[in-house]
Amino acid sequence: MVRIGSAVSTTSRRLPDPASAGSGRSPELLYPPGRLATVLLLLAAAPAAFAHAGERGFVMLLPTGLFQAGGTAAVAASFLAVAWLRAASLLRGMESAQWRCFPVPRRVRGTNAAAATLLVVLIAAGFAGSRDPLANPLPLAVWTLVWVGLAFAHAVFGYLWPHLDPWRPFASLARLAVFGSDEAPPPFSWPRMLSRWPAVALLLLLAWFELVYPAPRDPAVLAMAVAGYSVLTVTGMVLFGEGSWTRNVEVFSCFFRMVSGLAPIRIADENGARRLVLAFPGSRLPASDALPAAGVVFVVIALATVSFDGLSRTFWWLDLGGFNPLEHPGRSALVGWNTLGLAAAAACLLAAFAICTLAGARWSGTPAAPALRRFVVSIVPIAFGYHFAHYLPSFLVDAQYALKALSDPMGEGWNLLGARELHVTASFLTHHASVVAIWYAQVAAIVAAHVIAVVVLHALAGGTASGRRAQVLSQLPLTVLMIAYTLFGLWLLSTPVAA
Amino acid sequence: MSADTQRTHAIRTGSSPVTRRALLKAGAGAAAAGAASLALAPLSRIAWAAGSDEPIRIGFQVHRTGIGATYGRWYERTANAAATYLNENGGIAGRPVELVPEDDGTDPKRGAEVVEKFATAHGVDFVYGPLFSHVVIGSAPRAGELKMPYFVVSEGYHVASGSLNRYVFQPGITDVRAQVQAMAPWVAGNLGRRVTMMFPDYAFGYDHRDYFSAAVEAQGGSIAAKIAIPPTESSFTKYFPQVPADTEVLYHVMVGPGVLTFVKEMGEHYGSNRPQIFGFIDSLEGVDIASPGLSFLEGTYLWEALPRYADGLDSDANRHYRERVGINDEGASVDDPKDVSTNSHMFGCWETLFVIKRAVEESGYRSRNPDDVAALIEALEGFDSFDEGIPHPQGYKEFNGALHQCYGRQFISEVREGRLAVVHTTSIEDGKYEAEADYTTQSL
């Protein structure tokens, strides 16, 4: 290799001489240094402008106002319809409307052990695999397959998490190592005063990490977070027992348990035989136990966080914070503003829920505490509806990346699932027909979620108030809030967004 | 590695990321150093030069997440195609090329962190790839401090303006100032001389407003009105009545999700009686021109840096480029014809990698020690042109070593039957402006 440094070796290289330029096409761009300051000023803000015209652009061409009005009216109408029904009859009807289907085999053993093995592989991949968050399986597994995909699965198939929980086998091993027996009782009982507040704190932390922290998908950062959370969880399970820990602290257990209340499918145990049972989505929610205060806050915050995720991308929110949505400054610049927004969203929704529920209790002359502890369950369908609508588009893209990444988790050239060469496509987010189809699915999810919520709320009202008038009054303010929230949700799906 | 332990495994090809492991697995072996004949027919099996199989590691700063993700997906695909092609044809200076991807989240602060990570944790030779100007502006100072050669594919004027530093180069795509200016002669000569500009009310729009208005006035034209539209606007009906009646050309550069609404409302306002309309493909990169709502664009004109449709530039090099990246004649993915590429920008990733190759080979660069880096920078600054061919499918380019910026031809296309048909190709002269910087005066 010949060094040609001699031709260009001086830092005081002359500007190109047009006369001596080869083929007469040399640059002729000469430079008066005095103009540099002007240029610097001019260029201080010379952003790119590649905000994408696709997905939301097509939605904005639809008559979104009509959809907002129609969806909101449908929820209001569903309230008027169920208000004529006796709450107790509705509750009985919902509970009895079940269809016993075919028997199902005993559950497969070893699923937890498989999940635990996968967890170890994923953490290792986070540290040692590709740095690309769309090629490394850890971010895709956590944010796409678990947080979104498993939430979808729980809303359909019920509470699967105890069979998929990757930490239980480690807790068993730790118990065996420390106490000599996996049957050993936990050394501590859960402090009653803590209730489920640790789960609330972890949900907020998880939401902040996902929505506000600049790099939640960075494989190494996430591997550290997952490893730390795993140590915490296994330690907690050993010290306080799996039951207490998953009920009061472990945020995935709490979230999936909450969502599974919606499931139209469950497996019933009938004298040792297992049978698949179908029911209306959400029909088992009214029979839920009254929640403690922390449980109430958990449900409301679950809705607040996913609502804020949608809101934080809107032009409206960025403009409110003084940011130009067409030159999105990146997450780092938004940490303060979005932290404030997340906290405000949680506080506002908690206040709105409390005020509406207490107002209903006051108007109907029923006790406030039972209403707060029971009515909150009606928010579960809405929280999941938002979760579904919000994550559906990104799930459809990232699930492809996940499949590809899991085919080669360590970037070693493996092809375990045969998808290594898959070309990930996101064309359905830029192609008119599929954008509209996805949008319809999102609108349907939001409206259906609110309709279910209104029905569940009416059924719940039967448990806290007697007499039809008192029942209707007790739920009226919260129903109005739900109708307003329908409008908000449909607006979120229609308004310009920056990402 | 000594000659007797040379490895001669085939290198991984296709669309797979070109990673260190892939390369090591591929077991690059002997020879082919400098054999950069860049023939159209790739070599199916190559071997690396004895003792020089340590890869050239290039940090690939990619917008994997955040607002730039749509572009990042195609930038990644193009960069990997270029690296794969290079590796099939002798690599760089006989060494395999390894791309080390890191996501910057389309976030300037993270961009700077990523550059630092490339230098300290990954030990790469160079960093390449960012598109969004604010990320480039946020990351470039760190590259300068670390004396890290930093190749951007941004088309921003920030490089040529002199506002960055000696380690930053943009050798693969023309800057926006030259692009905009190059439009003026044809627009004034063919569409009309009385122009109204509609642009978003912030710096991007101001670049167009200032550069184009000056350029069209230099052509003997005049500006009838400059209509700035607030970035948060989602309906534009109240702005069209502000367009003066004597307007012959409406120049628009709207971006973001409101673009389609803008086009639709423009169509509703004018009907069939409209001025000539000229815009930039930036508004519609990655979007099918035949989409509902865009029918009003029929008969209007758009700037393209590289024609989306294959017949817009019928050359061996362009056909080869499209085949390697995997885009069909309509500018969409061969794997999914609905997946429209960002064809007017991503070629910069391809071309930049070949400029890096040439600079490494001509400077004798071996590792990131100060002498080799200085030699590389000076070699780059000594370039004055890049010939059209496989390394430069977009076309011949002039390179200004003082400005660290390349200049190439541009294309103007008409929307016909929901497709883009090239009607004019500019000369490089059309985009030339008075230079305002000289990076070579900065010390290394």
pLDDT at B14: 34
Helix (H) or strand (E) holding B408: strand B405-408
pLDDT at B40: 36
Q: Are residues A79 and A104 in the same domain?
A: no
Q: Are residues A91 and A116 in the same domain?
A: no
Answer yes or no: is pLDDT of A22 > 60: no
pLDDT at A44: 36
Strands (E), A427-494: none
Classify residue A43: in a domain, yes or no.
no
Q: Are residues A127 and A210 in the same domain?
A: yes
Beta partners for residue B48, in sequence order: none
pLDDT at B18: 54
Q: Are residues A352 and A490 in the same domain?
A: yes
Distance (Å, whole) CA B177 – CA B210: 9
Using the Cβ of B242 and the Cβ atoms of chain A, whether some distance falls under 8 Å is answered with no
Rounded to an integer, the average pLDDT of A9-18 is 32
Phi, psi (deg, nearest 5) at residue A440: -60, -40
Which tens digit of pLDDT belongs to each residue from A301-321? 999 999 999 999 999 999 999
pLDDT band, very low/low/confident/very high, at A271 (cuts 50, 70, 90): confident
Classify residue A430: in a domain, yes or no.
yes
The more confident residue out of B26 and A220 is A220
Answer yes or no: is pLDDT of B34 > 90: no
* Amino acid occupying residue B202: Y
pLDDT at A231: 98
Q: Are residues A224 and A146 in the same domain?
A: yes
Contact assignment for A328 to B363 by CB distance below 8 Å: no
pLDDT at B70: 80
pLDDT at A65: 94
pLDDT band, very low/low/confident/very high, at A24 (cuts 50, 70, 90): very low
What chain A residue is nearest to B261 in terms of C-alpha separation?
A61
Answer yes or no: is pLDDT of A32 > 70: no
Which tens digit of pLDDT belongs to each residue from A371-396? 999 999 999 999 999 999 999 999 99
Contact assignment for A131 to B102 by CB distance below 8 Å: yes
Which tens digit of pLDDT belongs to each residue from B67-100? 888 888 899 999 999 999 999 999 999 999 999 9
How many other C-beta atoms are found inside a 10 Å radius of the C-beta of residue B178?
24
Contact assignment for A52 to B67 by CB distance below 8 Å: yes
Distance (Å, whole) CA B244 – CA B225: 7
Q: Are residues A307 and A439 in the same domain?
A: yes
Which tens digit of pLDDT belongs to each residue from B249-284? 999 998 888 988 999 999 999 988 899 999 999 888
- The distance in angstroms from the start CA to the end CA of chain B is 33
Which of B298, B238, B229 minimizes the C-alpha distance to B259? Answer: B229
The full length of chain B comes to 444
Q: Which CATH number fits domain B177-304+409-431: 2.60.120.10, 3.40.250.10, 3.40.50.2300, 3.40.50.300?
A: 3.40.50.2300
Answer yes or no: is pLDDT of A327 > 60: yes
Answer yes or no: is pLDDT of B43 > 80: no
Phi, psi (deg, nearest 5) at residue B424: -160, 145
pLDDT at B403: 97
Q: What percent of chain A has pLDDT over 90?
A: 68
Q: Which residues contact B355 (CB under 8 A, 6 or more apart)?
A: B151, B169, B171, B172, B380, B383, B386, B391
Beta partners for residue B405, in sequence order: B170, B400
Q: Which residues contact A269 (CB under 8 A, 6 or more apart)?
A: none
Collapsing DSSP to helix, strand or coil, B95 comes out as strand
pLDDT band, very low/low/confident/very high, at A167 (cuts 50, 70, 90): very high
pLDDT at B41: 34
pLDDT band, very low/low/confident/very high, at B38 (cuts 50, 70, 90): very low
Helix (H) or strand (E) holding A211: helix A197-211
**Measured between CB atoms, which of B109, B162, B257 is closest to A39?**
B162
Which tens digit of pLDDT belongs to each residue from B134-183? 999 999 999 999 999 999 999 889 999 999 999 999 999 999 999 999 99
pLDDT at A39: 36
| Radius of gyration of chain A measured on its C-alpha atoms | 27
Using the Cβ of B203 and the Cβ atoms of chain A, whether some distance falls under 8 Å is answered with yes
Rounded to an integer, the average pLDDT of A249-254 is 98
Tally the domains of chain A. 2
The more confident residue out of B270 and B28 is B270
Burial of B340 (0-12, 13-18, 19+ CB in 10 A): buried
Q: What percent of chain A has pLDDT over 70?
A: 89
pLDDT at B56: 96
pLDDT band, very low/low/confident/very high, at A2 (cuts 50, 70, 90): very low
Helix (H) or strand (E) holding A385: helix A379-407
Distance (Å, whole) CA B135 – CA A486: 37
pLDDT at A499: 66
Collapsing DSSP to helix, strand or coil, A267 comes out as strand
In the A/B pair of chains, how many CB contacts fall below 8 A? 345
Rounded to an integer, the average pLDDT of A210-227 is 97
pLDDT at A92: 81
pLDDT at A108: 74
Answer yes or no: is pLDDT of B27 > 90: no
pLDDT at B47: 55
Classify residue A351: in a domain, yes or no.
yes
Q: Are residues A273 and A374 in the same domain?
A: no
What chain A residue is nearest to B108 in terms of C-alpha separation?
A330
Contact assignment for B232 to A54 by CB distance below 8 Å: no
Distance in Å, alpha carbon of B314 to nearest chain A alpha carbon: 23
Q: Are residues A182 and A77 in the same domain?
A: no
pLDDT band, very low/low/confident/very high, at A18 (cuts 50, 70, 90): very low
What chain B residue is nearest to A412 in terms of C-alpha separation?
B21
Distance in Å, alpha carbon of A52 to nearest chain B alpha carbon: 5
> What 8-state DSSP symbol labels residue B440?
G
Average pLDDT, chain A: 87
Contact assignment for B157 to A43 by CB distance below 8 Å: yes
Which tens digit of pLDDT belongs to each residue from B3-15? 333 333 333 333 3
The tokens describing B264, both together, are 């639709």
Which tens digit of pLDDT belongs to each residue from B356-376? 999 999 999 999 999 999 999
Task: Read off the pTM.
Answer: 0.86
pLDDT band, very low/low/confident/very high, at B49 (cuts 50, 70, 90): low
Distance (Å, whole) CA B362 – CA B377: 11
What chain A residue is nearest to B21 in terms of C-alpha separation?
A412
Which of A113, A121, A148 minimizes the C-alpha distance to A137? Answer: A121
How many other C-beta atoms are found inside a 10 Å radius of the C-beta of residue B106?
29
Burial of B314 (0-12, 13-18, 19+ CB in 10 A): exposed
The more confident residue out of A88 and A201 is A201
Contact assignment for B438 to A56 by CB distance below 8 Å: no
Answer yes or no: is pLDDT of B1 > 80: no
Sheet holding B397-400, edge to edge: B385-386, B397-400, B405-408
Which of B191, B183, B256, B252 minimizes the C-alpha distance to B431? Answer: B183
Contact assignment for A61 to B102 by CB distance below 8 Å: no
What chain A residue is nearest to B333 in terms of C-alpha separation?
A425
Q: Are residues A340 and A365 in the same domain?
A: yes
Burial of B35 (0-12, 13-18, 19+ CB in 10 A): middle
Using the Cβ of B367 and the Cβ atoms of chain A, whether some distance falls under 8 Å is answered with no
Contact assignment for A5 to B256 by CB distance below 8 Å: no
Classify residue A213: in a domain, yes or no.
yes
Collapsing DSSP to helix, strand or coil, B68 comes out as coil
The tokens describing A367, both together, are 């006790």
Distance in Å, alpha carbon of B5 to nearest chain A alpha carbon: 22
Lowest average pLDDT, out of A25-34, B186-195, B398-407, goes to A25-34
Architecture of domain B3-174+343-408 in CATH?
3-Layer(aba) Sandwich (3.40)
What chain B residue is nearest to A414 in terms of C-alpha separation?
B22
Answer yes or no: is pLDDT of B118 > 90: yes
Rounded to an integer, the average pLDDT of B210-235 is 95
The tokens describing A465, both together, are 């108030």
pLDDT band, very low/low/confident/very high, at B52 (cuts 50, 70, 90): low
Lowest average pLDDT, out of A62-71, A456-465, B356-365, goes to A456-465
Answer yes or no: is pLDDT of B322 > 90: yes
**Measured between CB atoms, which of A13, A316, A497 is closest to B381?**
A13
Which of A134, A174, A383 minimizes the C-alpha distance to A261? Answer: A383
Classify residue A27: in a domain, yes or no.
no
Contact assignment for A131 to B204 by CB distance below 8 Å: no
Distance (Å, whole) CA B292 – CA B339: 16
Longest dimension (CA), chain A: 98
Which tens digit of pLDDT belongs to each residue from A172-197? 999 999 998 888 899 999 999 999 99
What chain A residue is nearest to B405 in terms of C-alpha separation?
A27
Classify residue A451: in a domain, yes or no.
yes
What residue spans define the domains of chain B? 3-174+343-408, 177-304+409-431
Using the Cβ of B265 and the Cβ atoms of chain A, whether some distance falls under 8 Å is answered with no
Distance in Å, alpha carbon of A429 to nearest chain B alpha carbon: 9
Cβ atoms of B66 and B105 closer than 8 Å: yes
- Enumerate the residues of chain B whose CB falls inside 8 A of the CB of residue A328: 66-67, 106
pLDDT at A94: 80
Q: Are residues A260 and A325 in the same domain?
A: no
Q: Are residues A140 and A91 in the same domain?
A: no
Q: Which residues contact B406 (CB under 8 A, 6 or more apart)?
A: B170, B171, B172, B173, B174, B386, B397, B398, B399, B400
**Measured between CB atoms, which of A38, A48, A57 is closest to B154?**
A48
- The distance in angstroms from the start CA to the end CA of chain A is 47
> What 8-state DSSP symbol labels residue A140?
I
pLDDT at B4: 35
Collapsing DSSP to helix, strand or coil, A370 comes out as helix
Task: Quickly list H helices, B337-429.
Answer: 343-363, 370-382
Domain residues for A212?
Answer: 98-279
Q: Which of residues 24-63 of B touch A (CB under 8 A)?
A: 25, 33-34, 62
pLDDT at B329: 96
Q: Are residues A228 and A246 in the same domain?
A: yes
